[in-house]
Structure formats: C-alpha cells, structure tokens
Structure 1
Amino acid sequence: MRFTAVDLGASSGRVMRAEISGGRVDLVEAHRFPNRPVSVAGTLHWDVLGLYSQMLEGLRQAGPVESIGIDSWAVDYGLLDGDGRLIGNPVHYRDARTSGYTERLDADRYEVNGLQFLPFNTLYQLLEERLDRAETLLMIPDLFAYWLTGVRGAELTNASTTGLFDVARRDWARPLIDRLGLPARIFPEISEPGSVVGPVTAELGFDTVVTRVASHDTASAVAAVPARTPDFAYISCGTWSLVGVELDSPVLSEESRAANFTNEAGIDGTIRYLRNVMGLWILQECLRAWGESDLEGLLQAAAHAKPGQMTIDPDDPAFLPPGDMPSRIAAYCERTGQPAPADRPQAVRCILESLALAYQRAISDAARLSGREIDVVHLVGGGARNALLCQLTADATGLPVVAGPVEAAALGNVLVQARARGLAGDLREFVRRSQPLRTYHPGGGLV
C-alpha cells in the first residue's frame, strides 16, 4: 500500500510518500519547502496559498497513492464566507493581536476545555475577529482538505486545541461558544481520525481520497511514539516542544490548571496530557540572526563548552516573537544576574541545557499530576537528530531517552491512513520495525 503524508510544520513543510509492506513502513521525502510568514500592514500572516501550491507540487511528485493525509501546527484557522471563499489570509499565532489576554480569563474554562493558557489559542484569536461574514471556521489541515475535496469539516485532535472544545465530551463546547458570543454556525461537524473526507476533485488530477488523520502534528507524532508500555513520557521536539504523557481520561483539577497543563484529544480515545515548551525555535532564530549554517559544527563545539554557566526560561514571553534572539538571551541573563554567553557555542549550550531542564520539570509535573509512572522518555521529531539535546535530557531527567523517529508526525499520519484502509496490528510496532532508534542513558556523555 502507498500513501502520502502532507506534514506542515511552523517553519517548513514536507510531502512524504510511504510504502507499507511486510510489517514495515518506509518513508521517502517527495518534496520539502519552507514555511515563511508574511507581515502585511503590521499583521503577521501565513502564506496559505503558497503552501497549497507547494503541497500540490509535492503530491504530483509523490505519484499515485491510496490516500492523502494532512497534518499541521495547531490553533490557526481560515474563515470561509457563504460562498466557500477564504476571508483574508490566516493570521499567524505569533502575531501580537492577542498579547493582551491574560491567564485570569482562562481559569473558569479549564474544567471544560482542559487547555493550557496560551495567549494565541484559537479562542482568543476569534475574539479579535470580525465574524459577521464568516460561515465556516476550518483549522489549517481542514482548510487544505476542503480545497482538495470541496468538503468542509473539522478533525478531532486539532479541534481540541482551540479552547472551544469540551475535552470530556470530545465535541465542541457549545455552551462556552454561546457564552463568549461566538457564532455557533461557524463550527463544523467534528470527525475522528481515520474517517474519509472525500475524493480529490477531478480538476486537480489526483485519483485518490483525502483521509482525516490526527491532523494536529503533535497528535500524529505521539501516535508514532515507539513505546512498548504505557509508562512513558514523550517529547515531540521541533519548533515547539510538546512534553507529556498519554492518558485514558483528562486531568481537569485546579492543580493541573495552575501547573499550565493541557488536555488534548489523541487517537483511539486517548488524551495527550502535556505542557508546551518553546522548543528549538530559540536556536533556529539564533542561527538566522548569526547567518550560521553549520549547525553540526556548533553542536560539537557546544558539547565541549563548560556546562551550567547560565540558563534561560524558554517560555519567557521575550522569546516568542521573531527577532534578534542572541540579544534577547543576553538581556535575559543580565536581568537575572547571570553572565551572558561569551560566544556562539556557549549560547547554544545555554539554550539546550535550558530546554532539557524545562523538559525535566514538565515530565516530573506530568507524572505527579496524572499519577502515571514513567520509566522512559521518547523524544521524537527533528530534535531527535540533536544528540547533545538528547543526552542533556537524559541527564536532567535521570531516565533513558529513546530518540526517534525523526519524521514521527508523517509516520503517524500515514499509519492512521493505512489503518483506515484495512491495516491491522499495533501502529507502534510498525514504527519499531521500521525506524532507527538511539537510546541515551543518564551520565552517558558525548565528549
């Protein structure tokens, strides 16, 4: 069986072709492209038409397949008018329009949506919109699925990131939507991962169907965590890091809300209980500011840099927008009475040590609040390539860290499609058979 996964990250997109046979899944990259936001008249937008064009090019290069699945980042959306036309380019979650919202507004909603406070959640974005012309809200993967098929709808895992989803009932939180004064008409019917959206329209020239996968990329990535038992924590590490555990039911306690944990829907009735950590965004922005392309050389130098010289809080609001990240790190260190990094390797060491400590705090809190025993950490996504980060995480948590798969979101995407077409067996077993994994032990060292 052959499938195509469209996997859209916050900084790049890829179209992956997958072949499943003999209990294995093999991925081949058909097309990769950058995802660059565009600032227009002071507002930061996603270039969704450019992304759609690149997606179509990737689908052509991937060739004939049984099905197409689309996953992307969360919280952002497009609004359609009554004729099904897009009302303006979707706004980027890093835009400043919701920066005035505070955690106080979220306290009485947590028992319904179970969602970590983030000022850019869909709920707050919608409160800044003029919705009089809007007839349908489509999350980013649902928007692209609509353009491919002409069928409107919502997928469960991405809907659960909006703040307008009842995490216990696994449907839109209609009383909350009404209380906020949002128009109920714009929220389409929610479908589970594995349901078929419909055939691709004839004029596009693809004789296949679109399948709703776990369309929040983290949900797809967690579906591809190669765990053998339930006693694991995961870190889905890319531009953002999502750190948590997989549960059977949400944790909606006041203590959980105060700890800023989120409950998001996963496949097969599961809950992704997690905390958002800023992730590799800070390093990516440093590389951009430096004009640096030799990441591997920097990581090797950082591995030899003196440890424990300074740390930052990756979730400090100063690190959220694009900009001169090295200067922000220096300013943070000055503000907190620490020396600023003396050079680029020390700055990289600072970022990665700070991330590892943030991961440790999130995993410890997740275990305490959920009552889940944790004996291994699975680090998936692009960060699995970063050996120094993996080793620092093992050292900080005191637990073995299994790194891989790198393309976890694409794998989870494909496997949900394949199961919808009759694939039997444990999805995670397919990943273990197919992907190279590396284990880092506490104190193992890299130098």
Structure 2
Amino acid sequence: MSSDLRVAAVDLGATSGRVMVGTVGAGHLALEEVHRFPNGPVRVARPGGSTLHWDILGIYRETLAGIAAADRAAPIAGVGIDSWAVDYGLLDGDGALLGNPVHYRDARTADAIQRVRAIVPDDELYDVTGLQQLPFNTLYQLVTEVGGPRLGCAETALLIPDLIAYWLTGEIGAERTNASTTQLYDVRARTWAVDLADKVGVPARLLPPLRSPGEVIGPLVPEVADDLSVPRLPVVAVGSHDTASAVVGVPAEPGTNYAYISSGTWSLVGVELDEPVLSAEAMAANFTNEGGVDGSIRFLRNVMGLWVLSETLRTWEVRGVPADLTSLLAEAAAVPRLRAVVDIDAPVFLPPGDMVARIGKACRDTGQRPPATPAEIVRCILDSLALAYRRTVRQAAALSGRPVDVVHVVGGGARNDLLCQLTADACGVPVLAGPVEAAALGNVLVQARTLGVDLPDVAAMRALIRSTHEPRRFTPSGDGGEWSAAEARSRGVSAT
C-alpha cells in the first residue's frame, strides 16, 4: 500500500534486542522483524570483587545495524527506541560516556534502600514519587555513586533509550515514561523531584530536560546517516520504557474493566489510571505509579517474571542437561497443578545463579517436597508465577477501586499457553493473550501518529491493533480455593 508509513521500532529487552519495521495505514498494521541480537550482563572483575555491566556499545552497534536493515527493503520514515527501565549512562562535560552502564542486577545497591531511608522516610518518598521500593531503582543506583569519581565527573545521566537517542541525534533529554521509573520524578507535578535529589546527594545537574512521547528528538546526525547510507531520519520519542509502549499495545475494548500483564523477563502487572494512587495501602503493597503515553498512569507492581524460567534453563544448559522449552512445557502441563509453589517475588530469585537449587530450598523452607524432574520444576515456576499474577491483579483492583473482569497478557509470555491458562485459572477471569510484540506495536503507533497517520489517541491505536491482531482467549477453570491454599503454602503459612 503506497500510502502506508514505514518506521523502525528499536525494542531493547534485558535478554535480547530487536529492530522491527512497522507498516501503518488506514486499517493496516503489520510488523516485520529485521534484526535481532542477544543481550545480557557482562561480569567484569575489579579489585575486591566484580561488577555486572551492559555492553552498551555492542547494543548501539546492533541498533545501527538494525536501522540500516530496516531501511534497505524500503525507505523508513522514522525511528523510535524503547528499552528496560532504571539503568543509565553518565556523560562528562564533553558528552563522553563515563564507563559502561551498570546492570540493575549488580549487587552494589544491596544497602541503598536503608541509606536513603535514613535521609527520607518511606512515606515521604512514596508521596513524591509513588514508586515501588526496588533496590535497583535509579535513585538507589545513583546514591551508591555519591562521593565516587564517576559522579564527580558527570554532567548528565541518560537512561538507556535516551543514551542511544543521544548518540543518534546529538540531543540530550529524558523521555517522561522512563523518567518516571527512576524514583527521582515527581508523579504529581510530572517533573524532576529536584528537592529529593538534593536531599540524597544526587546532583540536580544530572537530570536532563524532559520530553514527552510523540516529540521529535531530532534527525540523525550526518555522520550516522552517512555511515548507514540512510537519510537523516527523525528519531521520535515514544513510550521509551518498554512497558509504557507495551501498554499502548494492549488491545483493550473501550469501557472494559481490564488489567494488563506485560509478561517477559519481568512481568508488569496492573491497571491504567488517570491519576496516581498514593495511599498508605498502595505503599504498603509496594505498588508503583509510572507515567504512560498521553499522560496516563500505569499503576502496577513488578513481578519477577519469566526470568526465573530462563535462568533455570541456563542452569541446565551449563550442566549439560537437555532443556528444550517446548517439550518441557508439554511435560509440565501433565504435572498435577500446585503440587509445589514458591514466592516467585522473593529476593533470592533476583540475581543470576542456580535457580534449581533456590527453588528446592524455598520449597523445603515452606514444608513442601521440592520438584524433582525438569518438568516438575517448570510447572512449579509457572504455577508460582500465576499465583503472583493472581495476588497482584486482585491488589491492583482493590487499591485502585477498579474491578477487573478480564486480564490482557502481552509480550513474550502471551506465547506460553500453559502460563496463560494458569493465569486465567488463578485470577478467575478470562485471559486475552497477545499481541506478543505489544511494545514494538506501541512504539510504532506513537511514531506513526507523530509522522502524520490519523491516530488521534491511544484508543484509536488500540482499535487498529484489535482489527489486525486478534488475541487468543483462555477461560478460567478449577477451584479458586485451591489457589488460596497454594498462596498460603508458597509463603509457609497456614491456610486456616
């Protein structure tokens, strides 16, 4: 279709990155993957220990390769970038990067929450930022650098998609949906919380000008365009936190009471609101209020996600144990449900390492027989993940006052039929699964609107997704009581 618009969506995940070409027109929306590459932490030794880093120049190199590939088949009109949250690069006064960004799973922030708590009480911090307490939030990462040489030399901190955009365009800034994940953003005023930064010793100069999804950041700098043999394409600010883009990609019907689960390495579980929920109850439940596209609020909680499964598969691979995921899921479906469950959000499951041993210990610590076979271990992980989804969906509904009648699962987890069915069973409401590439779709649609496609609001974007990407439906079955009993067992408490 000659009137269709083609754009490149750079979608950077914590385990892989990809560049997708989106084609958008009247009643038409299609995605094509043109480049994919592995991504992950790199452990580097240092005196007294080691540090997990991101290979940021490798990520940038692959991003450039993807943009070039996107333009080769047919001209593209723009580029948008989304990625995981919280991690950042520091630039000096000349705009040079001060070392590789540190990975959020690095152990350096182990005591950072306590350090901040001694300066700013939890309730004061939540009242300003509305953010879930996670040890890797940008605030805590930066606090660990206060007084250190890098922070002393730094003039700007750029979150990962903003850093990539800076190298592409030469323009410095921070996109709001990702800025809202830093715990340095005032969720009411929707600007940087400069007073908070000052209190904890983070220099306010590090916080760059804010921009909103839909703004044109700038054209590719001539050197990049020449190297890639492409025009000076505009780089458009999208929902640069991948969950913000994924929520745009949720094909919800107008007026429905829905929750979403953006299911990938992490699972982001929540509801979409107009205003933040900053109650004491929301703080106690460790819910977060993050910015969405067009000023919405993503009221959600981070759930550990498919990280536990992928790290289990890696453990088996290292040991030489055959671990074909498709076969394991088929075998796991035949394992009786809820035989063994763990609290998948427990801190022990956060760092890389031997998940098999950790799952076994968690089961023994709660008086359960540990799963013995690979299929039983996979079933334990998925049952436990569905339990966490159940708990979080119910909390989101209660805390926001928004009932939930259907759950939309988007992202990689939407491919997992067993997990989707278990989620429907656990939550007791239908699950609509898909699209898998919701983040890329949200990225593409925000770009398309900026570049002239008639998509006046997020509702119009979702209508286009519904008409072109039909989700799969999973209907709940089983007894809700057994899930309540399993919830108690996962935490080692009596169900009575």
3-state SS, counterpart of residue 96 of structure 2: coil
Unaligned runs of 5+ in 1: none
1:18 is aligned to 2:22 = yes
Matches within 5 A, 1:74-223: 74-102=85-113, 105=117, 106-129=122-145, 130=148, 131-205=151-225, 206-207=230-231, 208-223=233-248
1:397 is aligned to 2:427 = yes
**Structure number with larger C-alpha Rg:** 2
Following superposition, the deviation at residue 296 of structure 1 comes to 0.9
3-state SS, counterpart of residue 40 of structure 1: strand
Q: Is the 8 A contact 2:6 2:21 kept in 1?
A: yes
Instruction: Write the deviation string for residues 101-155 of structure 1: whole angstroms up to 9, x where unpaired.
Output: 3478233200000000001100000011131110011000000000001110000
3-state SS, counterpart of residue 368 of structure 1: helix
1:281 is aligned to 2:307 = yes
- The equivalent residue for 2:446 is 416
> What is the identity, as a one-letter code, of the residue corresponding to 1:86?
L
- The equivalent residue for 2:482 is none
3-state SS, counterpart of residue 270 of structure 2: strand
3-state SS, counterpart of residue 137 of structure 1: strand
> What is the identity, as a one-letter code, of the residue corresponding to 1:215?
S
1:9 is aligned to 2:16 = no
CA distance in 2 between counterparts of 1:294 and 1:70 reads 32
Counterpart of 2:264 (choices 238, 241, 255) is 238
CA distance in 1 between counterparts of 2:371 and 2:275 reads 43
Instruction: Write the deviation string for residues 229-283 of structure 1: whole angstroms up to 9, x where unpaired.
Output: 3411000000000000000000001111000000000011100000000000000
Matches within 5 A, 1:359-378: 359-378=389-408
- The equivalent residue for 2:474 is 440
- What's the TM-score, normalizing by structure 2? 0.88
CA distance in 2 between counterparts of 1:196 and 1:236 reads 26
Following superposition, the deviation at residue 166 of structure 1 comes to 0.3
- What's the TM-score, normalizing by structure 1? 0.98
Instruction: Write the deviation string for residues 372-400 of structure 1: whole angstroms up to 9, x where unpaired.
Output: 12111000000000000000000000100
CA distance in 1 between counterparts of 2:445 and 2:8 reads 10
Following superposition, the deviation at residue 57 of structure 1 comes to 0.8
1:354 is aligned to 2:380 = no
> What is the identity, as a one-letter code, of the residue corresponding to 2:288?
T
CA distance in 2 between counterparts of 1:394 and 1:188 reads 42
- The equivalent residue for 2:32 is 28
CA distance in 2 between counterparts of 1:146 and 1:87 reads 14
> What is the identity, as a one-letter code, of the residue corresponding to 2:418?
L
CA distance in 2 between counterparts of 1:339 and 1:108 reads 43
CA distance in 1 between counterparts of 2:248 and 2:27 reads 17
Unaligned runs of 5+ in 2: 480-496
Matches within 5 A, 1:242-281: 242-281=268-307
> What is the identity, as a one-letter code, of the residue corresponding to 1:316?
A
Counterpart of 1:335 (choices 351, 354, 365) is 365
CA distance in 1 between counterparts of 2:235 and 2:113 reads 38
Counterpart of 2:413 (choices 371, 383, 397) is 383
3-state SS, counterpart of residue 379 of structure 2: helix
1:46 is aligned to 2:66 = no
Following superposition, the deviation at residue 308 of structure 1 comes to 1.4
Q: Is the 8 A contact 1:214 1:220 kept in 2?
A: yes
- The equivalent residue for 1:430 is 464
How many percent identity over aligned positions?
60
Equivalent pairs, count: 445
1:56 is aligned to 2:64 = yes
CA distance in 2 between counterparts of 1:392 and 1:116 reads 26
CA distance in 1 between counterparts of 2:422 and 2:256 reads 24
Matches within 5 A, 1:64-79: 64-79=75-90
Which deviates further from its counterpart, 122-131 or 269-278? 122-131
- The equivalent residue for 1:319 is 349
CA distance in 2 between counterparts of 1:440 and 1:390 reads 7
> What is the identity, as a one-letter code, of the residue corresponding to 1:110?
Y
Instruction: Write the deviation string for residues 287-308 of structure 1: whole angstroms up to 9, x where unpaired.
Output: 1111245211100100001111
3-state SS, counterpart of residue 124 of structure 2: coil
Instruction: Write the deviation string for residues 169-207 of structure 1: whole angstroms up to 9, x where unpaired.
Output: 111011111211211111111001000000001112231
Q: Is the 8 A contact 1:391 1:444 kept in 2?
A: no
> What is the identity, as a one-letter code, of the residue corresponding to 1:59?
I
3-state SS, counterpart of residue 268 of structure 1: helix
Counterpart of 1:407 (choices 427, 437, 457) is 437
> What is the identity, as a one-letter code, of the residue corresponding to 1:252?
L
Q: CA RMSD in A?
A: 1.3
> What is the identity, as a one-letter code, of the residue corresponding to 1:118?
L
- The equivalent residue for 1:303 is 333
3-state SS, counterpart of residue 143 of structure 1: helix
CA distance in 2 between counterparts of 1:110 and 1:167 reads 9
Q: Is the 8 A contact 2:113 2:140 kept in 1?
A: no
CA distance in 2 between counterparts of 1:251 and 1:39 reads 38
